[in-house]
Amino acid sequence: MTLAEQQANLVAALTGKGPLPPGFDATRLRAAAAALAFKRARAVAQAWPSLHAMLGNDFRACFAAYAAQAPIPQHGGPLADGRAFVRYVAARMPVTDEVKQQILSVDLRYRQASTGLLRRRWPQLRVAWLRGAHCLLMGLGDRRFRVPLPRLGR
């Protein structure tokens, strides 16, 4: 087995995608894998504070479920990892207005690629419905606009 294959097997084991490679201590490998998972979750929590606040004590467990099935993005670091995590969470529960605002900010600057987030070349127009504020939040490039909507039936 080549060194590259051994390294690939070790990375797979550390990320929970493969068995324990021969010659490694299982306890130490599990501890290293847990430390890496914690570091990944902490980095996403720092990049996406609104999502961390929304999930509260459930953040780590929810992130662990996501991380078990999602590889680390090649481009965009914790911001890209968090954007993919937001999609995972939004498919399971409604997200708060604060999370929607952060999604809008990220989506205005970056585009989703199969390898993560890539910087946009041109300004984008994006709109988010903020339920609590009963308004639309519109973004164009680096500018944000709130458009209040009339409340019907009151």
Reported as a single tens digit per residue, the pLDDT across 6-55 is: 888 888 888 777 888 888 898 998 899 889 889 999 999 999 999 999 99
**Residue 154 falls inside a structural domain:** no
**Residue 153 falls inside a structural domain:** no
Range of the domain at 80: 3-148
**Residue 70 falls inside a structural domain:** yes
Q: What is the pLDDT of residue 59?
A: 97
Q: What is the pLDDT of residue 154?
A: 57
**C-alpha–C-alpha distance, residues 143 and 111, integer Å:** 17
State how many domains the chain has: 1
95 pLDDT band, cuts 50/70/90, is: very high
**Residue 113 falls inside a structural domain:** yes
CA atoms within 13 A on the CB side of 93: 12
Identify which has the larger pLDDT, 62 or 150: 62
**Residue 58 falls inside a structural domain:** yes
**Residue 97 falls inside a structural domain:** yes
Give the three-state DSSP class for 74: coil
CA-to-CA dists, residue 96 to 62, 103, 142, 144, angstroms: 16, 11, 22, 18
Q: What is the pLDDT of residue 142?
A: 79
Q: What is the pLDDT of residue 75?
A: 96
pTM value > 0.85: no
Q: What is the pLDDT of residue 94?
A: 95
**C-alpha–C-alpha distance, residues 78 and 111, integer Å:** 15
